[in-house]
Amino acid sequence: MDEKTLSHLSGVWNRAWPLVVDHGEGPYLIDTTGRRYLDFTCGIGVTNTGHAHPRVVAAIQEQAAKLLHGQAALVAHQPMLRLVEELLPIVPKPLDSFFFTNSGAEVIEGAVKLARHATGKPNVIVFQGSFHGRTNATMAMTTSKTIYRAGYGPLASGVFVAPFPYAYYYGWDEETTVRFCLRELKLILKSQTAPNETAAIVIEPVLGEGGYVPAPAAFLQGLREICDHYGILLVADEVQAGFGRTGRWFSIEYSGVVPDILVMAKGLASGMPLAGLAARPALMERWVPGSHGGTYGGNAVCCAAAAATIQVMRDERLIENAAAMGEVLMNGLRHIQAKHPEIGDVRGRGLMIASEFTDPKGEPWTDRAKAVAGAAYQKGLLLLRCGSYENTIRWIPPLIISASQIEDGLEKFQAALEA
Ligand SMILES: Cc1ncc(COP(=O)(O)O)c(C=O)c1O
């Protein structure tokens, strides 16, 4: 039945594994034959509280019986207000005005629209390797791989691309890389989009699809200075790196920088489709009422799931666990790296970690990373790749992960390397 019905699904979803999932349980996915897989993908960084966390499930069930949909442009509803109360102590001050929508791409589009309204300026600057989504505007802001853009042109205009401080790629130390990237950004403001035409600089503080590369604090601080100097808004895309993933609520906290607009999605609602942005009230007030919105944005059941997600993260100390387990994972990977020189770099923050494969000539080793991820699947470990060359294996276990489950994952990885 599965095979025949599967053939009716669009091939545009290039499924990573021939896997039909029956259910999820904490860090495991269980297929229809009963086989268990250790899920170190979290559905691409979404199920941070694990699959089907009982408290999140209960909140969804309770809310579903009360109110499924209360259109946000028409009425307010209790779960959204509860969610705001939960978010207020989490987001950096003074970002305490919120807008909700359904997906990462939509909320990035929203952030760009807000930046354009608030500044009256048309252009945005993004970074090499960034992934901001697949809608018309966000596709033009995405440069992690050509496949996201090829054949869809002409792309939306007004987007300029600056180099991301990816020290391992350049083969430089961090300081040299930061200096180079800030210089190039300033050159773009002189040569391609003038400050008085640039509404926003949009950055993933930890580059996600582009290779799991944390931006050094000095770079983010440099961006803040440039934005303040020229009256450009700084937008932090925390869609993948936010919500505890890196051992802090938001990854930009590592730099001490407060963005003008903070964008969140994925881990926010444990798998329910919800995304949001936070900004200063004075900025949000410049978004002309009625000029943006959407039928489902801030859905009642999704908001209830998000409020429960935050409570679970606080009560179960998942941020602290992400930081502690991140260290266990990082140390384990460095240990394995010492025996496997094809792992050229291990980097990351919290439970957002990369192991990048490099061949003996120092070039990206895509085939090797692909083979290892494939062998890991055979051993019951789900791992995704990332990076423009897809030569990086990314480690995104749920934030509920234990040390013994990480050990299990590392043993499977080691076996996959030796397969
Ligand atoms: C950093 C970042 N921004 C935006 C998006 C787009 O989110 P969505 O797929 O929910 O539209 C993603 C998705 O992977 C992402 O990683």
Residue 3: band (very low, low, confident or very high) from pLDDT cuts 50, 70, 90: confident
Angle at 168 between CA 336 and CA 220, to 5 degrees: 115
Tell me the best of 42, 102, 239, 262 to mutate to test the pocket of ligand 1, counting ligand atoms within 8 Å of each CB and taking the most: 239
Residue 227: band (very low, low, confident or very high) from pLDDT cuts 50, 70, 90: very high
- Among protein residues, the one with the nearest Cα to ligand 1's atom 16 is 240
Give the percent of the chain with pLDDT over 90: 99
Residue 184: closest CA among 204, 199, 164, 166 = 164
Q: What would the mean pLDDT of 357-361 be, rounded to a whole number?
A: 98
In whole angstroms, give the CA distance from residue 63 to residue 60: 5
CA–centroid distance, residue 107 to ligand 1 (Å):
9
Render pLDDT for 41-59 as a digit per residue (tens, 0 to 9).
999 999 999 999 999 999 9
42 within 8 A of 405, measured Cβ to Cβ = no
Q: What is each CA distance from 343 to 171, 335, 395, in whole angstroms?
A: 15, 11, 14
pLDDT at 2: 74
- Among protein residues, the one with the nearest Cα to ligand 1's atom 4 is 132
Determine the atom of ligand 1 nearest the C-alpha atom of 265.
Answer: 10
Q: Which residues line ligand 1 (CB under 6 A)?
A: 44, 103-105, 108, 131-133, 204, 208-209, 237, 239-240, 265
387 within 8 A of 211, measured Cβ to Cβ = yes
| Secondary structure class of 41 (helix, strand, coil) | coil
CA–centroid distance, residue 283 to ligand 1 (Å):
24
In whole angstroms, give the CA distance from residue 125 to residue 132: 12
Element housing 258 (H / E): none
Position 167: which residue type? A
In whole angstroms, give the CA distance from residue 58 to residue 42: 20
Q: What would the mean pLDDT of 335-362 be, rounded to a whole number?
A: 98
Element housing 384 (H / E): strand 384-386
For residue 166 the two structure tokens come to 């990816």
Q: Is the pLDDT of residue 392 over 90?
A: yes
Element housing 326 (H / E): helix 318-339
| Secondary structure class of 281 (helix, strand, coil) | helix
Render pLDDT for 133-183 as a digit per residue (tens, 0 to 9).
999 999 999 999 999 999 999 999 999 999 999 999 999 999 999 999 999
In whole angstroms, give the CA distance from residue 21 to residue 32: 6
Tell me the best of 41, 127, 132, 213 to mutate to test the pocket of ligand 1, counting ligand atoms within 8 Å of each CB and taking the most: 132
Q: Is the pLDDT of residue 245 over 60?
A: yes
Q: What is each CA distance from 329 to 29, 53, 286, 408, in whole angstroms?
A: 20, 23, 44, 11
The whole-angstrom distance between residue 248's C-alpha and the CA centroid of its chain comes to 14
State the DSSP string of 141-156.
T--S-GGGTTTSPSPP
Tell me the best of 130, 134, 266, 268 to mutate to test the pocket of ligand 1, counting ligand atoms within 8 Å of each CB and taking the most: 266
Determine the atom of ligand 1 nearest the C-alpha atom of 44.
Answer: 14
pLDDT at 325: 98
CA–centroid distance, residue 339 to ligand 1 (Å):
34
Strands (E), 174-315: 198-203, 206-207, 213-214, 233-237, 261-264, 275-279
Q: What size, in residues, is the chain?
A: 419
Determine the atom of ligand 1 nearest the C-alpha atom of 103.
Answer: 10
For residue 373 the two structure tokens come to 């991820």
Q: Which residues pair with 26 in a beta bridge?
A: 51
**Entry pTM:** 0.98
